[in-house]
């Protein structure tokens, strides 16, 4: 694994830990009002992770994990990241991206970890600061 790929993995794990902590607090309140376990198992964690990531990337181009690892998400064309780019990136990453990567990992390893399938799909690139 290339160094940027390792940093991206560590950054995602940091963001996931933060999201899990926030989700735990939110679920404590929601458990009294919502009795459906599917909401607590699937919907709440996804909504919290995406909301935190979206807000941080939209504002600064970095999540807490990216900042800690010295990474930044940028538009391939040098313009400001758009909301639709971020939403496309998150949705693709959490659905189809793993299959694309497993189908042809060498194509993405040549990019030094800057471009993964969800980055290609959303026209974004991750760079070291």
pTM, 2 dp: 0.89
Residue 74 has pLDDT above 70, yes or no: yes
Rg (CA), the chain: 16
Angular region, 75: left φ>0, alpha ψ -120 to 50, beta rest: beta
- Over the range 21-49, which residues count as b (16 or more CB within 10 Å of their CB) and which as e? ebbeeebeebeeeeeeeeebeeebbeebb
Backbone angles phi, psi at 33, to 5 degrees: -100, -35
pLDDT at 112: 79
Residue 17 has pLDDT above 70, yes or no: yes
Q: Could you tell me the end-to-end alpha-carbon distance of the chain, in angstroms, rounded to an integer?
A: 19
Mean pLDDT of 49-53: 97
pLDDT at 79: 85
What distance lies between CA 17 and its chain's CA centroid?
A: 13
Cβ distance 44 to 31 under 8 Å? no
**Nearby residues of 73 by Cβ (< 8 Å), 6 or more positions away:** 57, 61, 62, 66, 81, 124, 125, 126
Mean pLDDT of 51-73: 96
User: Which of 43-52, 92-101, 102-111 has the lowest average pLDDT?
Assistant: 102-111
Mean pLDDT of 60-66: 95
pLDDT at 1: 55
């Amino acid at each position: 694994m290339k160094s940027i790929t390792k940093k991206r993995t560590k950054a995602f794990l940091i963001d996931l830990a933060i999201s899990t902590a926030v989700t735990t607090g939110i679920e404590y309140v929601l458990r009294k009002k919502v009795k459906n376990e599917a909401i607590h198992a699937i919907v709440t964690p996804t909504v919290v992770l995406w909301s935190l990531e979206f807000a941080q990337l939209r504002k600064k181009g970095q999540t807490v994990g990216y900042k800690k690892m010295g990474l930044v998400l940028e538009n391939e064309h040098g313009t400001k990241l758009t909301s639709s780019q971020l939403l496309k990136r998150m949705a693709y990453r959490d659905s189809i991206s793993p299959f694309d990567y497993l189908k042809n990992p060498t194509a993405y390893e040549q990019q030094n970890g800057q471009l993964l399938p969800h980055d290609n799909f959303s026209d974004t690139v991750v760079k070291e600061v």
